[in-house]
Structure 1
Amino acid sequence: MKEKIIVTGGCGYIGSHTVIELIENNFEVVILDDLSNSNEKTIDRINKITGITPKFLKVDLKDSLKTDEAFKAHKDASAVIHFAAHKAVGESVQQPLKYYKNNFYSLLNALEAQSENGINNFIFSSSATVYGTPNVLPITEENETQRPFSPYGNTKKIAEEILDDYTKSNKEFSAISLRYFNPIGAHESGEIGELPSGIPNNLMPYITQTAAGIREKLMVYGNDYPTKDGTPIRDYIHVVDLAKAHVIAVKRLLKKEQEKSLEFFNLGTGVGYSVLDVINTFESVTNSKLNYEIVGRRDGDVPQLYASTNLAKEKLGWSTNKALDDMISSSWVWEQNLRNENN
């Protein structure tokens, strides 16, 4: 019998790549997604890559009754990986209540439903934003979490506090919170990648859409940060490397190898690249010129974030395999495939 894993937000960018890795590791997958920032065509794409169609239920996790029904139908699941959340930093600053409502209701309803149905293993999709503006770099899991600049980041920080309280109160329940740095890239097949609704909020899809002529120009938000070229520095990680870490984390929970009822792991490469580094590498890898303009800083951004990944290497046996060139070239292949589909 295959172990069954429920993946909330499994049609999304990181969720869909994780579903592929789970299937390729012989797990049965059930996707719960409201398709608010994703597309049901992703299910077909997953099938094209793996030869397997995961079960899919369209569920708004803000609806507690519908959430409970979905979990009850799959109470034989061994674990839940929770991706379902709004995730745009800039939008969260403009619409904080939308973010608090969606991200907390979804989390609380999922936790309640899985608890009521006896599913006691939980992987949480967290973020390096929980560290706020770090005083020490690279960031280790020992860095204190701080009030993030954005409501999006704050939902991740508070969600981790909720998990901390819950794991202390429920001795049967175990959780791992994976703190991502900046996922980019696409599956090597070119069949799935980042597909934002409307104007992208993240750097890489904005770059590829600009290069493809969908966007007139790329806006670089600020060149007066205290960094080598004035643009913000981030730790970019290939989404496939990130997805593989979720499978390892699930196996750790199922084998009861965790050392605490709630564990935290940074997922990054440990290397920081500036926005201009990414732009210059894109132009070099694709042999194309990007139209970009430097404008004022964006609310919610911090100057530098890059990880120490020592703990994930030591405890999970996980490390990244793909370099920035791989991240960029796979993103560009995915973008070109999308444009060919739409023509």
Structure 2
Amino acid sequence: MKKILVTGGLGFIGSHTVVELQEAGFEVVIIDNLLNSKIEVLDNIEKITSQKPEFFNLDLRNKKDVNHFFNTNLIDGIIHFAASKAVGESVEKPLEYYENNINSLVYLLQEMRDHNISNFIFSSSCTVYGQASELPITENSPVKPAESPYGNTKQIGEEIIKDTCKADHLNAIALRYFNPIGAHESIKIGELPLGVPQNLIPYITQTAAGIRKQLSVFGNDYNTPDGTAIRDYIHVVDLAKAHIAALQRLLDKKNNQKFEYFNVGTGKGSSVLEIIHAFENVTQQELNYQIVGRREGDVTAAYADTTKAQSELNWKTEKTLDEALKSAWEWQKRQS
């Protein structure tokens, strides 16, 4: 049984990926510093899979602790989620984002080199493309100057990994996510933002639940059919399964290059207003929202061409937008 380290494994995408890994027969070890997650997620993973992953409360910015972990644990591969991830917050706190997202990556890669671990999946982002000049976005779309420090940490992260692959035995795949939403069908794990949500769907569900008074729609003057920004919203379970496909590709040595990257999305863009109306329709909840000014760091539109992931990873999305929105609402109701 291959032993896989999942950093940030109690977070939103991490926890869903841990479930899929366990169900695919992998042994999982989680590292998480609980800054943006809750320890209760560990028990909920066990309730879904009947297996409790080994857990280490560890901050990857602490090089000594990272070194000690690898000296005392044998690992076959790593899926690296642990990072700060809010676009708006990164504009306000750039240094914190660079420290957290870059230092932790470097320390991990150093330990992989020193302990001869070669399989690495990196949690990247469609933000590496900036505002793409053509849609849908393919993997051949140019990586443009980042619109936010968060996006820049993903660009820099990919460059660091690519350089490491050239110099060492490392084989890596970067998955460039679009917008993950929804919750596991068991409704035992889902998106659990601490404090005010930075992403659209949890803000929608918290508004519908009465936790937030009003939803702000950032800008209605974009060059889109209804003036609001367009994103590609993918069910988090579909996204988690893409990590299993990418990991299996590396373990089976089917990668064509030492560093590869794939878009992970649905291939369809939805505007903010379309998401609001779809949520209202699927849940029968009326949302109180208002149009406000644009938010710094946001691009006009981004949605994926997923042809490469479908052909090379043999992966594609299975769940619908309505399913994702319904599960997000069920998850929110479970929190109150």
After TM superposition, is the score higher than 0.5?
Answer: yes
Task: Please give the alpha-carbon distance, in whole angstroms, between the structure 1 residues aligned to 2:111 and 2:33.
Answer: 17
1:64 aligns with 2:63: yes
Counterpart mapping for 1:142-291 below 5 A: 142-170=140-168, 172-291=169-288
- Alignment partner, residue 43 of structure 1: 42
Shift of 1:173: 1.0
Task: Please give the alpha-carbon distance, in whole angstroms, between the structure 1 residues aligned to 2:144 and 2:95.
Answer: 20
Q: Which amino acid aligns with 2:258?
A: S
1:127 aligns with 2:129: no
Task: Please give the alpha-carbon distance, in whole angstroms, between the structure 2 residues aligned to 1:10 and 1:147.
Answer: 29
Task: Please give the alpha-carbon distance, in whole angstroms, between the structure 1 residues aligned to 2:211 and 2:271.
Answer: 24
- Alignment partner, residue 303 of structure 1: 300
Q: Which amino acid aligns with 1:5?
A: I
Counting aligned pairs with the same residue, the percent is: 56
Cα shift readout 1:157-183 (whole Å, capped 9, x = no counterpart)? 01001111110111x210000000000
Task: Please give the alpha-carbon distance, in whole angstroms, between the structure 2 residues aligned to 1:72 and 1:220.
Answer: 48
In the alignment of these two chains, the number of paired residues is: 336
| SS in structure 2 at match of 1:122 | strand
- Alignment partner, residue 88 of structure 2: 90
Task: Please give the alpha-carbon distance, in whole angstroms, between the structure 2 residues aligned to 1:332 and 1:37.
Answer: 20
**Stretch moving more, 107-116 or 184-193:** 107-116
Task: Please give the alpha-carbon distance, in whole angstroms, between the structure 2 residues aligned to 1:115 and 1:219.
Answer: 46
Shift of 1:137: 0.7
Shift of 1:114: 2.0
| SS in structure 2 at match of 1:199 | coil
Task: Please give the alpha-carbon distance, in whole angstroms, between the structure 2 residues aligned to 1:111 and 1:78.
Answer: 14
Give the TM-score taking structure 1 as reference length.
Answer: 0.97
Task: Please give the alpha-carbon distance, in whole angstroms, between the structure 2 residues aligned to 1:30 and 1:72.
Answer: 14
- Alignment partner, residue 27 of structure 2: 28
Task: Please give the alpha-carbon distance, in whole angstroms, between the structure 2 residues aligned to 1:105 and 1:246.
Answer: 23
- Alignment partner, residue 76 of structure 2: 78
- Alignment partner, residue 15 of structure 2: 16
Task: Please give the alpha-carbon distance, in whole angstroms, between the structure 1 residues aligned to 2:285 and 2:331.
Answer: 16
| SS in structure 2 at match of 1:266 | strand
Task: Please give the alpha-carbon distance, in whole angstroms, between the structure 1 residues aligned to 2:206 and 2:105.
Answer: 32
Cα shift readout 1:218-267 (whole Å, capped 9, x = no counterpart)? 11000000001000000000000000000111111001000000000000
1:335 aligns with 2:305: no
Shift of 1:72: 2.0
Q: Where in structure 1 are there 5+ consecutive unaligned residues?
A: none
Shift of 1:25: 0.3
Task: Please give the alpha-carbon distance, in whole angstroms, between the structure 2 residues aligned to 1:232 and 1:176.
Answer: 29
Task: Please give the alpha-carbon distance, in whole angstroms, between the structure 2 residues aligned to 1:272 and 1:143.
Answer: 17
- Alignment partner, residue 98 of structure 2: 100
Shift of 1:116: 1.4
Task: Please give the alpha-carbon distance, in whole angstroms, between the structure 2 residues aligned to 1:89 and 1:311.
Answer: 26
Q: Which amino acid aligns with 2:109?
A: L
Task: Please give the alpha-carbon distance, in whole angstroms, between the structure 2 residues aligned to 1:19 and 1:158.
Answer: 26
Shift of 1:131: 0.2
Shift of 1:118: 1.7
- Alignment partner, residue 107 of structure 2: 109
- Alignment partner, residue 290 of structure 2: 293
| SS in structure 2 at match of 1:86 | coil
Task: Please give the alpha-carbon distance, in whole angstroms, between the structure 1 residues aligned to 2:71 and 2:186.
Answer: 35
Q: Which amino acid aligns with 2:87?
A: V
Task: Please give the alpha-carbon distance, in whole angstroms, between the structure 2 residues aligned to 1:18 and 1:70.
Answer: 21
| SS in structure 1 at match of 2:227 | coil
Task: Please give the alpha-carbon distance, in whole angstroms, between the structure 1 residues aligned to 2:25 and 2:242.
Answer: 15
Task: Please give the alpha-carbon distance, in whole angstroms, between the structure 1 residues aligned to 2:177 and 2:290.
Answer: 28
| SS in structure 2 at match of 1:30 | strand
Shift of 1:74: 1.6
Give the TM-score taking structure 2 as reference length.
Answer: 0.99
Shift of 1:148: 1.1
RMSD: 0.6
